[in-house]
């Protein structure tokens, strides 16, 4: 994706966004609500057309023929309420180019995997929300697409189902499929994704390999467990801010500060039981880069 | 193409398999038959004998009028009678109770007036010699619109008086009758160099049936199309579909699928009607009147399908730019107005199928399905006019399809506020790529 922009009237949803996804593995598209994630995905699958910029998929400019090679799980789930589960899945599979029989066979086996086998003859409206979501997910991967695009796939799933879904995603990634995960849930991305693109107000703020990003943001956090005088926390040349969690404090180091100096200072006034340099969580990076998301 | 077919198939099967489809298909004809038969039934059921008093100076004259009123109607009247009236006419004796009152005084008049008010009689006819001389005979009754009575009364009275006058001038009653026999002009249509049988009522029936069918199909299935677009929007299915198929494919599949459902229904009805009506039709002497030439059938199929496509495309667009059915129904007038206008223009088309206004009106695509078809039935217009009207219609349907597919593509993803016209135009620009 190169320099892609899209605006609705005066509102700029996506503003000169560029990123690239390597084949294979799970890629995270991150951003706060309204950052332009869904618009980006919709442009990638050709539902909406960018005002400017280029989108290439599998090395060629996006065209209609690509539609059968990706699977899309939209944020707003949608199924025909009056259709039976198996019929519905078959229909979706056929739209993606499968034969009716093949689509039915695959739908059946996926339903077994997701413990939906008893429900295949039921109408969609009789299913619980979580089950509908699983049906929707199956619909997106039924045709074994090379690129799977998922908008908030875990929203609304209970923990057990979320784990089942995660397992399938990892399994598909291992098979060499490319999975694009769009979400504002940092913890999921942190656990699943190899690379990310963080967007805000339609622009890419951070992009690249997750480990490298974390390394770049460096070990700027220290977790300290102590007894005694907490004066060392007030040293402005070393401590930019801290968060007292009761059992321990988490300290963000001031720019250029050496953690060793803080250790010396702290040990001079208090008894330390723990002093650990922390890898920043994606959430911290996110807040750091984006600023506190406004409600 | 494959996607269109898949969507068509889904729309079709999902609809046809529902119980409501089955019920509607089987019950609607029964309900319609009932609705059509009911008013006629009611009209005859509520009728009781009319009690009439004829006030006259000469009892003989009153007696003649009385007998004429009770007599079975003449051929002349029978011609105007349609099916429902027929059996009513046959029982004129049950319809009237006629008394002759040879006491033309003001006192009697007041008494009769009271009787009318008290409902012991329905009306009285003031047929005194003075009134006849003044040629001003009056019928007094309670009714607001005593059309039937008045026309039958005045016909009878004037016939009787004319007969009397003629016989006073020396004619025998037979001669008088002969002379009073009305002369009818028999209309014969010339069609394709041949004298057509029948009066052309069958032709009018064809037009009415077509208009009814188109009207029903458009309203019924058009709304169905709109609802289905709205369903995909509100249930948010559209996004998944658009990731697999283009908006044009979606729209075409939907229109054709719903259209196929409509055709199935009409076909079932046609078969049902055929089974029910054929035995009775076979006994009708003017069956040839109803036989529809193949060219008209072809025109019907063509204009019906194109008309359906034109209007249901408009419905789909309305579905795409609105979010709720109520909103959609508010915009429906855009569709209903051209339909109603075409129905209004049917009369001019039937009367003067060649007038310039009619010719050009039938070229306008929104009216063509009804008006051009009507012209073909009434009096086959020159081929170039049919061709022109058809090509304009096809071009419009095609253009509208593309136009709507674009609006559809953007509109279906917009939730919430209904767009105004400038916004819609902007979408068109966006969707061009």
Question: Rounded mean pLDDT of B122-146?
Answer: 79
Nearest-by-Cβ selection for A96 from B18, B244, B431: B244
State the smallest CA–CA distance between residue B353 and chain A in angstroms: 49
CB pair distance less than 8 Å for B10 and A91: yes
Question: Rounded mean pLDDT of A168-178?
Answer: 87
Indicate whether B371 pLDDT > 70: yes
List of chain A residues whose C-beta atoms are within 8 Å of the C-beta of residue B240: 72, 74, 78-79, 92, 136, 139-140
Q: Which of B13, B20, B233, B243 is the best residue to mutate to test the A interface, defined by the most A CB atoms within 10 Å of its own CB? A: B243
Nearest-by-Cβ selection for B242 from A47, A83, A97: A47
CA B320 – CA B137 distance, rounded (Å):
66
List of chain A residues whose C-beta atoms are within 8 Å of the C-beta of residue B246: 64
pLDDT digits (tens, 9 = 90+) for A250-287: 887 777 777 788 888 888 878 888 888 777 777 777 77
Question: Rounded mean pLDDT of B298-312?
Answer: 85
Handedness of CA B347, B353, B357, B363 (dihedral sign): positive
Sequence-distant (6+) residues with CB within 8 A of A190 are: A210, A281, A282
List of chain A residues whose C-beta atoms are within 8 Å of the C-beta of residue B233: none
CA A279 – CA A284 distance, rounded (Å):
10
Nearest-by-Cβ selection for B240 from A82, A92, A97: A92
Chain centre to alpha carbon of residue A153: 9
Question: Rounded mean pLDDT of A221-232?
Answer: 79
Indicate whether B76 pLDDT > 50: no
Q: Which of A162-166, B71-75, B137-141 has the highest mean pLDDT?
A: A162-166
User: Mapping DSSP to helix (H, G, I), strand (E, B) and coil, where does residue A197 land?
Assistant: strand
**pLDDT for residue B84:** 39
CB pair distance less than 8 Å for A95 and B3: yes
pLDDT digits (tens, 9 = 90+) for A11-25: 677 777 788 787 888
Question: Rounded mean pLDDT of B37-58?
Answer: 74
**pLDDT for residue B87:** 44
pLDDT digits (tens, 9 = 90+) for B315-368: 888 888 887 778 778 888 888 888 888 888 888 887 787 788 888 888 888 888
**pLDDT for residue A9:** 58
Question: Rounded mean pLDDT of A159-175?
Answer: 87
- Chain A's closest residue to B426, CA to CA, is A9
- Chain B's closest residue to A41, CA to CA, is B243
Q: Which two tokens stand for residue B293?
A: 């030439």
State the smallest CA–CA distance between residue B432 and chain A in angstroms: 9
Nearest-by-Cβ selection for B243 from A47, A80, A91: A47
**pLDDT for residue A219:** 65
Indicate whether B420 pLDDT > 70: no
Residues of A with CB under 8 A from a CB of B: 9, 42, 45-49, 64, 67-68, 70, 72, 74, 76-83, 91-92, 94-97, 136, 139-140
Inter-residue contact A90 to A103 (CB < 8 Å): yes
Q: What is the DSSP letter of A292?
A: S
**pLDDT for residue B89:** 45
Inter-residue contact A56 to B205 (CB < 8 Å): no
Closest Cα to residue B298, out of B412, B380, B397, B212?
A: B380
**pLDDT for residue B363:** 86
**pLDDT for residue B395:** 92
CB pair distance less than 8 Å for B413 and A79: no
CB pairs under 8 A between A and B: 67
List of chain B residues whose C-beta atoms are within 8 Å of the C-beta of residue A82: 14, 18
pLDDT digits (tens, 9 = 90+) for B198-239: 556 666 777 777 778 778 777 788 888 888 888 887 777 888
pLDDT: which is higher, B426 or A170: A170
CB pair distance less than 8 Å for A79 and B237: yes
List of chain A residues whose C-beta atoms are within 8 Å of the C-beta of residue B238: 78
**pTM of the full predicted structure?**
0.68
- Chain B's closest residue to A88, CA to CA, is B10
CB pair distance less than 8 Å for B239 and A72: yes
Q: Which of A4, A42, A78 is the best residue to mutate to test the B interface, defined by the most B CB atoms within 10 Å of its own CB? A: A78
**pLDDT for residue B189:** 67
pLDDT: which is higher, B192 or B214: B214
Indicate whether B294 pLDDT > 50: yes
**pLDDT for residue B412:** 62
Q: Which of A50, A63, A95 is the best residue to mutate to test the B interface, defined by the most B CB atoms within 10 Å of its own CB? A: A95
**Across all residues in chain B, what is the average pLDDT?**
77
State how far the alpha carbon of A234 is from the alpha carbons of A240, A254, A265, A272, B60, in Å.
9, 11, 11, 17, 132
List of chain B residues whose C-beta atoms are within 8 Å of the C-beta of residue A74: 236, 239-240, 243
**Across all residues in chain A, what is the average pLDDT?**
80
ipTM for this prediction: 0.72
List of chain B residues whose C-beta atoms are within 8 Å of the C-beta of residue A136: 240
**pLDDT for residue B92:** 55
Nearest-by-Cβ selection for B6 from A9, A42, A91: A91
CB pair distance less than 8 Å for A95 and B239: no
State the smallest CA–CA distance between residue A115 and chain B in angstroms: 23
CB pair distance less than 8 Å for B240 and A94: no
pLDDT digits (tens, 9 = 90+) for B105-117: 888 888 888 888 8
């Amino acid at each position: 994706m190169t320099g892609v922009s899209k605006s609705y009237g005066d509102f700029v949803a996506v503003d000169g966004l560029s990123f690239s996804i390597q084949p294979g593995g799970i890629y995270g598209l991150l951003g706060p609500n309204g950052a332009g994630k869904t618009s980006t995905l919709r442009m990638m699958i050709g539902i909406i057309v960018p005002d400017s910029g280029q989108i290439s998929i599998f090395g060629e400019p996006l065209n209609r023929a690509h539609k059968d090679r990706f699977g899309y799980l939209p944020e707003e789930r949608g199924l025909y309420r009056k259709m039976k589960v198996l019929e519905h899945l078959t229909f979706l599979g056929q739209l993606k180019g499968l034969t009716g029989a093949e689509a039915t066979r695959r739908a059946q086996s996926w339903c077994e995997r997701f413990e939906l086998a008893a429900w295949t003859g039921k109408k969609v409206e009789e299913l619980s929300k979580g089950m509908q979501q699983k049906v929707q997910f199956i619909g997106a991967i039924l045709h074994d697409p090379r690129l799977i695009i998922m908008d908030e796939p875990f929203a609304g799933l209970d923990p057990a189902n979320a784990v089942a879904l995660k397992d399938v995603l990892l399994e598909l990634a291992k098979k060499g499929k490319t999975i694009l995960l769009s979400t504002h849930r940092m913890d999921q991305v942190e656990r699943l994704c190899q690379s990310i693109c963080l967007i805000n107000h339609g622009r890419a703020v951070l992009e690249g390999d997750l480990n490298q990003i974390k390394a770049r943001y460096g070990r700027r956090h220290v977790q300290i467990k102590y007894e005694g005088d907490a004066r060392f926390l007030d040293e402005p040349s070393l401590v930019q801010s801290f968060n007292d969690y009761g059992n321990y404090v988490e300290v963000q180091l001031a720019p250029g500060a050496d953690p060793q100096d803080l250790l010396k200072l702290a040990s001079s006034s208090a008894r330390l039981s723990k002093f650990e340099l922390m890898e920043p969580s994606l959430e911290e990076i996110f807040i750091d880069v984006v600023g506190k998301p406004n409600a | 193409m494959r996607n269109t077919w898949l969507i068509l198939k889904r729309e079709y099967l999902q609809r046809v398999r529902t119980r409501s489809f089955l019920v509607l298909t089987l019950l609607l004809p029964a309900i319609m038959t009932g609705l059509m038969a009911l008013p006629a039934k009611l009209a005859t059921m509520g009728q009781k004998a009319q009690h009439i008093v004829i006030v006259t100076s000469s009892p003989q004259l009153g007696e003649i009028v009385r007998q004429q009123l009770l007599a079975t109607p003449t051929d002349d009247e029978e011609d105007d009678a349609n099916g429902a009236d027929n059996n009513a006419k046959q029982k004129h004796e049950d319809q009237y109770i006629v008394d002759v009152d040879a006491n033309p005084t003001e006192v009697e008049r007041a008494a009769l007036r009271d009787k009318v008010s008290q409902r012991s009689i329905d009306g009285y006819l003031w047929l005194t010699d003075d009134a006849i001389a003044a040629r001003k005979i009056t019928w007094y009754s309670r009714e607001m619109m005593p059309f039937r009575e008045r026309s039958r009364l005045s016909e009878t009275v004037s016939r009787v008086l004319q007969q009397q006058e003629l016989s006073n001038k020396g004619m025998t009653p037979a001669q008088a009758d002969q002379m009073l026999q009305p002369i009818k002009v028999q209309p014969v249509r010339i069609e394709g160099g041949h004298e057509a049988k029948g009066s052309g009522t069958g032709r009018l029936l064809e037009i009415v049936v077509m208009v009814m069918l188109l009207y029903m199909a458009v309203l019924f299935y058009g709304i169905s199309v709109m609802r289905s677009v709205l369903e995909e929007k509100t249930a948010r299915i559209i996004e998944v579909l658009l990731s697999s198929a283009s908006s044009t494919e979606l729209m075409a599949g939907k229109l054709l699928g719903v259209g196929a459902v409509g055709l199935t229904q009409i076909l079932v009805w046609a078969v049902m009607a055929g089974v029910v009506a054929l035995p009775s039709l076979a006994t009708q002497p003017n069956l040839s009147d109803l036989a529809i030439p193949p060219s008209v059938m072809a025109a019907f199929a063509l204009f019906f399908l194109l008309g359906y496509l034109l209007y249901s495309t408009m419905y789909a667009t309305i579905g795409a730019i609105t979010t709720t059915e109520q909103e959609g129904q508010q915009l429906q007038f855009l569709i209903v107005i051209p339909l109603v206008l075409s129905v209004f223009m049917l009369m001019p088309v039937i009367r003067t199928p060649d007038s310039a206004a009619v010719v050009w009106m039938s070229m306008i695509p929104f009216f063509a399905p009804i008006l051009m078809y009507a012209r073909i039935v009434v009096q086959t217009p020159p081929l170039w006019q049919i061709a022109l009207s058809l090509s304009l219609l096809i071009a419009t349907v095609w253009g509208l399809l593309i136009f709507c597919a674009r609006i559809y593509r953007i509109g279906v993803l917009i939730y919430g506020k209904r767009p105004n016209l400038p916004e819609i135009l902007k979408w068109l620009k966006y969707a061009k790529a």
